[in-house]
Structure 1
């Protein structure tokens, strides 16, 4: 399955008030693997960013002045996203802006080009009710480094979100088990089992001694042999 992790930066929070997209960043996943086939464009919105938005993304009017307008990049974007499942954090925000931009150009909606949307904010709230579920909070929860994220940037945020999404949805695939089943003359046969390499760390002498002391203490507490010394385990 082809998936696109997408993020945008905008001049403000409401497209109905004339705010526009100024950056689009997309990261491609195929069969849950990063392909490196990314899409990234800065866009001249032909207006200034609101003060609050500028503080978030830092993309000044001067920086964006010589960048292409949305109508100059839309065909590339349409081709890139066509038929993919799109992954967005807080999807209504980005989709609202994208559909607005497409509507201004009298094009079919952004939604009509893709094969569904996954909102990672919705998923995160289901997994972590009552917790902070911003992208930064999820990076911290899943141990994903975002130290280089000083300001919001569409491509950087899409790259971080791809890592977060893969971590959130890993499940039993975390050990890398991939079983391929194929038909044979005798019925269904297991053709291949591929397991990810697992690193085994041996205990040091000091750790083994500490472990023995712990078991000795447990033996003393139960006045016999604790369960952890039984040969059946």
Structure 2
């Protein structure tokens, strides 16, 4: 049966989507904190691939069609910030690649939309994270309180690390229900996910304060790598 859902406004054309993509490019370029710079060429190349992907237009028309009665998905600024924060999530997976991260419910909508285009998403992972690498998705099992608590700690960690890179957008990294995280799938050669230029350090460098280090080591199985790809300019 043909879907006859009537959106609150007409779906954007490809041309009408372009301003959101252009705004996201500016946000991604301008939002990075200046206290630290990335010094590894592989990291820089990965971030360039993330920012310049051709997939984002498809993601935008998909989130509109999945949320036809939500005004936010017909607002250029909100759509641009959704894409920008998705880029930041992917970037964190590269820069802080030894650790797992969680997303808010708001941002998960955009990540799901990307995964809907499975061929494009696979190619994106290959370009951004390295040959034959794939960023997996793990939903939260709401029947298990311990899992939800671990996911919440991981989400708090993710927001803390993002705050080292950019000014955190509370519309996408606020106190939402935590529903998913990135996931490393083990294979014969090690891990599917790429680990570029990240060296485990103990104690961590000064990007982490001692209290956070102690809390993470006590409660979560994170490897504290201290953002080895970053340094003060």
Query: TM bucket by the smaller chain?
Result: under 0.3
Normalised by the length of structure 1, the TM-score is 0.25
Structure showing greater radius of gyration is: 1
Normalised by the length of structure 2, the TM-score is 0.25
